[in-house]
Structure formats: C-alpha cells, structure tokens
Chains A and B, each alone.
Chain A
Amino acid sequence: MLKLKVNDIDVEVEEGLTVLQACEKAGFEIPRFCYHEKLSIAGNCRMCLVEMEKSPKPIASCAMPAAEGMNIKTNTSLVDKARKGVMEFLLANHPLDCPVCDQGGECDLQDQSMFYGVDKSRFKENKRAVPEKNMGPLIKTQMTRCIHCTRCVRFATEVAGVPELGAIGRGEDMQITTYLEQSMQSELSANVVDLCPVGALTSKPYVFEARPWELKKTETIDVMDAIGSNIRVDTYDWEVKRVLPIINEDINEEWISDKTRYACDGLLHQRLDTPYIKYNGKFEKASWQEVYKIIKSKLENTSKEKVCGFVGDLTNMETSYIFKEFFDRTVETDNYESRSDNRYVNISKRENYLFNSSINGIEDADLIILLGANPRYEATILNARIRKSYLNNSTRIVSLNDCGDLTYPYESLDGQTKTIKEIIDDTHKLSKEIESAKKPMIIIGESLLRLENAQYLFDNLKDFLNKKNKFSEDWNPLNVLSCDAATVGNFDLGVLNNKTNLIEDLKSNKFEIVFLIGQDNLNFVKKNEFVIYQGSHGDKGAECADIILPGSAYTEQDGFYTNLEGKIQKAFKASYPPGDAKEDWKIINELAEFMNNRKLFNDKEELDSSMLNYLKLQSEKQTEQNNNNSNSDFNNENLEIEIKDYYFSNVVAKSSKTMIECNNAKMNLKSTGTEG
C-alpha cells in the first residue's frame, strides 16, 4: 500500500494505481475525457491535470502512477488555470452546435465546460471541419465534434477485438476513422456511443428522438441472450426509446451487445394489442371474455392428455410458474415443455445446466475448451470476457469446431464427437492438458446437447472431470452455455417433461389443444390442433394460432429471469403493454379464474413468494439422479454449431428495423468481399 496526500487528506492506495484513482479515493473528482476505467491509459486529453509537490508543471493524473509520499493538490489556482487552458484548446475547434447535438444533456464536454470553460472565445481563425464517416447503421458520426480522446479506438482494439478504428493524420488534421468506411465488424460496436464523451459518435437509430431529461429511466434486465445484462431502459410515454448498459462487474461489466441495445425498436412493431379469434382463416378482433369462453369450452371438451403447453424463450419466470401451476392444477396434466428442440438436460441437479465457473471465473481460467459453442454469437458479452482473459493471461483456448473469428486466437479441432470421446477416454492430448490445468473450463453449447449422443457425452465428460478431481469448493469446470433468457429459469422451475417427447408428439399431431406462451420456434405442421398463442409479437406462433392472447414484452412487466450462471435477477416494468394487452401472468390467472371461479394467485406478491418458495425447495432437494443408459453405445457424429441468425434470434429482434439494417450491412459486406 502506498501512502500519499491529496489536498492534505491522507489516502492509502494499492500499488499500480494512478494518481487519478488516488484522488477519487480521497473523494475528489477529477475531470477527464480520455481516461476510462475499462480501457488502457492514453493520457492525451490533458483535462485531468493536477498539481504535484516538487513538480514544476502540472501532471496528467490519469497517466501518473501513484507513488509513496506524493503530495497532490487538485484545487489550487494553478490547476484551475491549467484546466481552463486545456478546455479552451478543446473548444477552439469544437462546433457550437449543442442545440442540434444528440449528446446535449449528457455530454461530458458540455458539463465540464460549465466549470472550466471560458465565456468568450479568443480563437478568431476558422474552425476545423472534418467529413463524416460511414460507420454503419448503428453509429452516426459528426467528426467535427471529435476531441480525439481515442476512447473509441481503444475500445475497438482492446475490448471488441476488431482493430478497425484508428486515428489518421496528425495535429489539427487528425481524424478518427474506420479504414474501409463501413460498419465495425463487432457485436459490441455501439458501446463506442456510450464511450464518446462528446457528440462525435451518437446513436443512429436514436437520432433526434428525445433529450435525456425527457426520458423515464428504468433499471432492468436484458433478455436478448442468457447473460442477463443489466440495462437501463429509457422510455418516452409508451415508447422504449433506447437501452443503455448499467455497470455490473459480475455480468456485463459496462458493455452490452448491439442486439441488446438496438432490438428495442422491435417493441414498437408487430405488436399484438387485442385478443383475436381466427374464423375461416381470418383473424378477427375479440374481447377477453369471448376468448376466455372459447378456451374454457375447448379445454373442457378435450381430454387432458390431448392438451399441451410450450413456453418460449423470452418468458419471465412468473409466467412460466403460473403456466405450470395452471397446467398442474387447472388442466391437470404435465404436458408442458420449455425447450423447443430435443435438447438433453438432466435437471435433477442445478449444475447440470448452469454456467458453473461463472462469468467472472472466465478471467481466472487457464484453459478454455469450447464444445459446440460459438460464444461470439450466442453470448457476446461472455465472449468479450474470454477475450479479456486471453489478453490478461494469454489463456489457452480450444474449440472443437472452427467458429471463424472469435476476436481471439484459438485452436480448432475436427468438429467430430469422437474427439470428445478420445478426451473422455484419456487418449487425446487435451486430456493431459485438462489434468494439468488448475482451473480448466469446458463450455458446452446447446448444439452439442442437441446431438443424439448428448447424454453419453455430457455424463461421461462430467465423470471424466470428476475422476481428474477438477471439481472443488471454489471451482466447477463444467459450463453449459444457454442461449435464451428463459432457459435456466424454466429448468429451475421444472417446466419440462422428460417422460414423453412432447415435441415429437406435437410434430406427429397427437395433440388437440396446443397452448403456446411466446413460443415461436416450434416448427410443426398444424393439422387439426386448436392453437392458443399468448405473446407480445405477431410472429410464427401467432400466425398458426386460432386464438391470440396479447401479452407483454420484457419491458412492460415486472418479472424474474435467471441468467446462465443461475443468478436470479428482476426485470422491472418500464412501459405498459399496448392496447388491450395484459401482463402475461395476469392472463393465465384470469383464465384460471374463468374456468374454476378461483384465481390461482390473489396477486403478484403471492405469485412471487410462491415461486421463490418453490425455487428454494427445489434447491434444497438437489440429488443427483443418474440415468442408467449413459453407457449406451456411442456413435460418432459431426457436430455442427447451429446458431440462430444473430440479428433475428427472437421475436423482438425479428420485428426490429435496426436489426434488419444491421443484417443487411453485414450481408453487403460479405457480398463485396472487402472484409479482408
């Protein structure tokens, strides 16, 4: 620990920290533009100047390492004058277009010029003008406003792993550009909008939409992938205007993926806002009472074995839980399922479907093996962590498949499951590496769990790791990479049926009533089934439905989601459902009341506490039930990673115009072949 003085206050800081961090610890805020906690230090804006005893000149506190016995002053007239001088230079070429700048109201330069700006300009020369750059459909550029802090350049190079941004020219002619004048090839690209301290890089879909002070801000959870990134949803009346990240060091740090950020305009399109009934192949508007009546009569006139229910990929846990209760108590059948494919899962123990090493654990790992997973597209934020681990510790990364560019180097194997068997049988060179690694991580993708031999591979892999003593108090090397926000929550709630294969039964048209809750991924050919679809968007599920119950999207209702690590987080209501649509749990509750004259739960609190109680009970009675057939014959299979189209992975993204543009930009790039 180093002891130093900041404005006569004694502080102790760890070695390796900077003067700026020491000042913050002492409680003095230092103005800055280029410095950012998560990026490397550049020291080029000079805004963080402070006075140091025995130094003839003010020092840049962000780049100066703290040392024993330093005496720092942050509030002297010298510091003030130095910062004023820096600010005057920054403003010399900065346009006075705050009234038409989207950054206005949340602009670092604007805020800091309130303290350090001079009211008059002594700069009589012409201001510099810089041509706009094309950075794709997400980032709007106005490079004249750029103050060359290079945060965006450092982010692209370090975090996103796509060194495509750079500063060209020098002095007054310096420009930030991508060399090809095209969108950045990263799923994290739009984070540069948040990083930009001025209005040089702003959000293109959000251009001129609203001022920050007009928006209602709600802190909630993202559902575009299973990571559960912490986000802030900004709404103006009903409309979700934008989504921003909030810091959660354990999950998304400070970043969110482009899909999380920009799929939100999908919440405005293709919405189901009133109940519909299909008559002669045409949808007609109906009232809630009408649709409940029809559902009631249908359910009463059908034997309960012929009723099945499927829960979708974005459904919150309350809805899944009440749906399960509805089937258990009202319909009296357990024909419900949350998976949309024949994926293997053994829910008898939670660790069988969680990302056990945790996202933070990635940084401690010394060997990462990807089996049937492409984290770049399946869990973008997690991929950024793997890259961070690679940068900090040069972690060795092996993938069974060749996944293309993952933003870090990795060794790819042949993509055959017999290679996994060799690892399990201790005949592959990786077996030795796993044995000698202190904290190995095996990341199993959903593609592997969809294989016919998934059970064999999963169980034996677990046994293999057990044999090698890789499970310890603080480390669990087995990780399942779930893709959808609802997956883990549904497994926790036991919304699945391992007795019969409901999906095969559905495909062979064994059911008479199919109840879909936000489930659009079942590719079944409808024959005589009566399909009830409850959801927020008119997509595949609604198309084949006979009755549509309009539900709410993730920003329109309170709800719990469990992320892939098993962390339960609550998403809060930022907006309200459109038209006659209701919150999902309420619809089921009302339907149950309509059928039995008795509500399943009196209110949301009762539902929440009942559900949390259920989860608690489940976690207490965890016992491993080993299925006996894990020693069944093994056949080699070619493991292909099936990833849903990144920009269209769920109904919200599918309805988003921005996502379509992103996809088009990517397609154009591919067809011109200029990417390399």
Chain B
Amino acid sequence: MSLRKPAKDQPESFEFNASSLEAANNIVEKYPKGKQQSAVMALLYIAQRQNNNWIPLAAMKYIAKFLDMPYIKVYEVATFYTMYNLSPVGKYFVQVCTTTPCMIRGANKLVEACKEKISENECELSSDKSCSWMEVECLGACVTAPMMQINDDYYEDLDKEKTSEILDKILNGETPKPGSYRGRINNEPENNRKTLTDLKNA
C-alpha cells in the first residue's frame, strides 16, 4: 500500500444533495453540541456514496466547513483510511478479496476476469470510465469464498465464468443479483444443513 494521492482532476465544487444532507444531519445530531467533529468519518462516507464512490478535495473542504473544523484534519482522516477513495473508481467499484481462504478457492481467477473485462491494472478505470477493480484484504465472507464486492453488495461462490458474466452485466449498466452464485442461501452449508435440522428458520 502506498500513499494514496488525491486525483489530479478535481471537481470545482461539491455539495451534499438533499438525501445526503438529511443523512449527514442525522449523524451530526447524535453527537453532543460542540463535538460535531466526531461525525467526520460518517460524513466522508456519505460524500463518497454520493459522488460515485470517491471523495474529491472539494468534498473535504465542504465537510470541514460543515463540521466547523480545520480542513487539514478532514484531509488527515481521509488519507488515513483505505476505504475512502481519493480518486475516481467508477460507478461500479469492484473489490476482489484475495486473502488466504479466497485465494485457496481460486480468487486469482476472479482477478484474471477483472483484468480481461475491466482494465489491465488495479485501480484503473475501464475504457468507459464506469468501473474499476482492486484487490482487497478479507471481506469476512470466507465461507462463500471466492467472492467480490461491487459497491455495497457481495457476490459469492464465484468462478471465472460467473465473474465474467457479472462484470459484463455491470458494464452494460445492469445490476446483477447479489449473493451466492451456487444457489446457497446466506451462509448455509453446500448440501443442505447438517445441524439444527429441526428448526425451520435457523
């Protein structure tokens, strides 16, 4: 991991839209008066969601003003945490887990599919600028490995073909169905349950 630098091309201005503003105000209200700075992480995340999964410098300035704190403090937080993207990652942000359990179950095939469909390198936008991918550490879905995350949704039990299909869909602007691609419900075992069989909705 190297220092993630803010993108060179930055939008001139940023403002919360109505829904973001409401969400932001809800968060700020949770903190005592005068301690509104504590909301900075949540607000950065709201800004990231609103702005196609990345935070421009203008948004940091906006949040600094919003929370009445020095801009450098917001900048510090945004550069510290890896889940804040400081340069455009496209409307669909694909994160492929390559930590050990996924790796053993063939995560490198998923990476191959990403390289073929999206872009040659990690963190590089696809030709239509709608999508990018990166390898990430464990996303906590080892039981359904290998898997990847696209925006907020998990796509699990994948292989190279299925990944390619999913990526084709998102590149066409569709939203594929999230969850297991081997027909599993949530995290249940492969061939039906082995325990707690007497419970219906375990």
Q: Is the CB of A163 within 8 A of B73?
A: yes
- Bound-complex Cα distance A568 to B51 (A): 62
Task: Tell me if A9 counts as interface (CB < 8 A to partner B).
Answer: no
Q: Is the CB of A168 within 8 A of B79?
A: yes
Quick one: which of A163, A168, A173, A178 contacts B1, CB cutoff 8 A? A173
Task: Tell me if A454 counts as interface (CB < 8 A to partner B).
Answer: no
Q: How many residues of A contact B (CB 8 A)?
A: 14
Among B57-116, those with CB < 8 Å from A are: 70-73, 75-76, 79-80
Q: Is the CB of A163 within 8 A of B80?
A: no
Q: Is the CB of A173 within 8 A of B76?
A: no
Closest CB in chain A relative to B3 CB, distance in Å? 4
Closest CB in chain A relative to B192 CB, distance in Å? 45
Q: How many residues of B contact A (CB 8 A)?
A: 12
Task: Tell me if A669 counts as interface (CB < 8 A to partner B).
Answer: no
Quick one: which of B1, B4, B70 contacts A157, CB cutoff 8 A? B70
Closest CB in chain A relative to B59 CB, distance in Å? 14
Among A173-216, those with CB < 8 Å from B are: 173, 175, 178-179
Task: Tell me if A164 counts as interface (CB < 8 A to partner B).
Answer: yes
Task: Tell me if B127 counts as interface (CB < 8 A to partner A).
Answer: no
Task: Tell me if B197 counts as interface (CB < 8 A to partner A).
Answer: no
Report the nearest A residue to B1, measured CB to CB: A173
- B residues within 8 A CB of A179? 71-72, 75
Q: Is the CB of B79 within 8 A of A163?
A: no
Task: Tell me if A415 counts as interface (CB < 8 A to partner B).
Answer: no
Closest CB in chain B relative to A136 CB, distance in Å? 16
Task: Tell me if B195 counts as interface (CB < 8 A to partner A).
Answer: no
Task: Tell me if A64 counts as interface (CB < 8 A to partner B).
Answer: no
Q: Is the CB of B72 within 8 A of A163?
A: yes
Q: Is the CB of B72 within 8 A of A164?
A: yes
Task: Tell me if A169 counts as interface (CB < 8 A to partner B).
Answer: yes
Q: Is the CB of B73 within 8 A of A168?
A: no
- Bound-complex Cα distance A102 to B94 (A): 48
Q: Is the CB of A175 within 8 A of B72?
A: no
Q: Is the CB of A169 within 8 A of B72?
A: no
Chain B window 1-24, contacts with chain A (Cβ cutoff 8 Å), 1 for yes, 0 for no: 111100000000000000000000
Closest CB in chain A relative to B170 CB, distance in Å? 31
Q: Is the CB of B70 within 8 A of A168?
A: no
The majority secondary structure among interface residues of chain A is: mixed
Q: Is the CB of A169 within 8 A of B3?
A: yes
- A residues within 8 A CB of B71? 179
Task: Tell me if A170 counts as interface (CB < 8 A to partner B).
Answer: yes
- A residues within 8 A CB of B3? 168-169, 173, 175
Task: Tell me if A20 counts as interface (CB < 8 A to partner B).
Answer: no
Among A156-175, those with CB < 8 Å from B are: 157, 163-171, 173, 175
Closest CB in chain B relative to A40 CB, distance in Å? 14
- Bound-complex Cα distance A157 to B79 (A): 19
Closest CB in chain B relative to A180 CB, distance in Å? 9
The majority secondary structure among interface residues of chain B is: helix
- Bound-complex Cα distance A169 to B71 (A): 15
- Bound-complex Cα distance A49 to B76 (A): 27
- Bound-complex Cα distance A164 to B74 (A): 11
Closest CB in chain B relative to A665 CB, distance in Å? 19
Report the nearest B residue to A171, measured CB to CB: B1
Chain B window 124-138, contacts with chain A (Cβ cutoff 8 Å), 1 for yes, 0 for no: 000000000000000
Q: Is the CB of B80 within 8 A of A166?
A: no
- Bound-complex Cα distance A170 to B4 (A): 10
If the complex has contacts A173-B2, A173-B3, A175-B3, are A165 and B80 also in contact, measured as CB distance less than 8 A?
A: no
- Bound-complex Cα distance A169 to B1 (A): 10
- Bound-complex Cα distance A164 to B4 (A): 20
- Bound-complex Cα distance A44 to B79 (A): 19
Q: Is the CB of A166 within 8 A of B2?
A: no
Q: Is the CB of A168 within 8 A of B76?
A: yes
- A residues within 8 A CB of B80? 168-170
- Bound-complex Cα distance A157 to B73 (A): 10
- Bound-complex Cα distance A165 to B76 (A): 10
Closest CB in chain B relative to A185 CB, distance in Å? 12
- Bound-complex Cα distance A178 to B72 (A): 8
Q: Is the CB of A166 within 8 A of B76?
A: yes
If the complex has contacts A157-B70, A163-B70, are A168 and B75 also in contact, measured as CB distance less than 8 A?
A: yes
- A residues within 8 A CB of B70? 157, 163-164, 166
Report the nearest A residue to B78, measured CB to CB: A168
- Bound-complex Cα distance A175 to B4 (A): 12
Quick one: which of B1, B72, B79 contacts A165, CB cutoff 8 A? B72
- B residues within 8 A CB of A164? 70, 72
Closest CB in chain A relative to B123 CB, distance in Å? 16
- Bound-complex Cα distance A631 to B1 (A): 75
Q: Is the CB of B1 within 8 A of A166?
A: no
Closest CB in chain A relative to B126 CB, distance in Å? 27
- A residues within 8 A CB of B79? 168-170
Closest CB in chain A relative to B173 CB, distance in Å? 35
Among A326-368, those with CB < 8 Å from B are: none
- Bound-complex Cα distance A617 to B71 (A): 57
Report the nearest B residue to A162, measured CB to CB: B70
Quick one: which of A166, A170, A173 contacts B72, CB cutoff 8 A? A166
Closest CB in chain B relative to A192 CB, distance in Å? 14
- B residues within 8 A CB of A168? 3, 75-76, 79-80
Chain A window 241-263, contacts with chain B (Cβ cutoff 8 Å), 1 for yes, 0 for no: 00000000000000000000000
- A residues within 8 A CB of B2? 173
Chain A window 138-169, contacts with chain B (Cβ cutoff 8 Å), 1 for yes, 0 for no: 00000000000000000001000001111111
- A residues within 8 A CB of B4? 169
- A residues within 8 A CB of B75? 166, 168, 179
Report the nearest A residue to B71, measured CB to CB: A179
- B residues within 8 A CB of A178? 72
- Bound-complex Cα distance A166 to B4 (A): 16
If the complex has contacts A157-B70, A179-B71, are A167 and B76 also in contact, measured as CB distance less than 8 A?
A: yes
- Bound-complex Cα distance A159 to B79 (A): 25
Report the nearest A residue to B2, measured CB to CB: A173
- Bound-complex Cα distance A173 to B80 (A): 10
Closest CB in chain B relative to A252 CB, distance in Å? 26
- Bound-complex Cα distance A166 to B1 (A): 20
- Bound-complex Cα distance A165 to B70 (A): 10
Report the nearest B residue to A178, measured CB to CB: B72
Closest CB in chain B relative to A145 CB, distance in Å? 17
- B residues within 8 A CB of A169? 3-4, 79-80
- Bound-complex Cα distance A170 to B79 (A): 8
- Bound-complex Cα distance A367 to B79 (A): 40
- Bound-complex Cα distance A163 to B68 (A): 12
- Apart from A163-B72, A173-B2, list 11 A-B contacts with CB within 8 A: A163-B73, A164-B70, A166-B75, A167-B76, A168-B75, A169-B3, A169-B4, A169-B79, A169-B80, A175-B3, A179-B71
Q: Provide 19 A-B residue pairs closer than 8 Å at the C-beta atoms, listed in order of the A residue.
A: A157-B70, A163-B72, A163-B73, A164-B70, A166-B70, A166-B72, A166-B76, A168-B3, A168-B75, A169-B3, A169-B4, A169-B80, A170-B79, A170-B80, A171-B1, A173-B2, A175-B3, A178-B72, A179-B75
Residues of B that sit less than 8 Å from A by CB: 1-4, 70-73, 75-76, 79-80
Residues of A that sit less than 8 Å from B by CB: 157, 163-171, 173, 175, 178-179
| Across the A-B interface, the 7 shortest Cβ-Cβ residue pairs | A163-B70, A166-B72, A168-B79, A173-B3, A169-B3, A166-B76, A170-B80
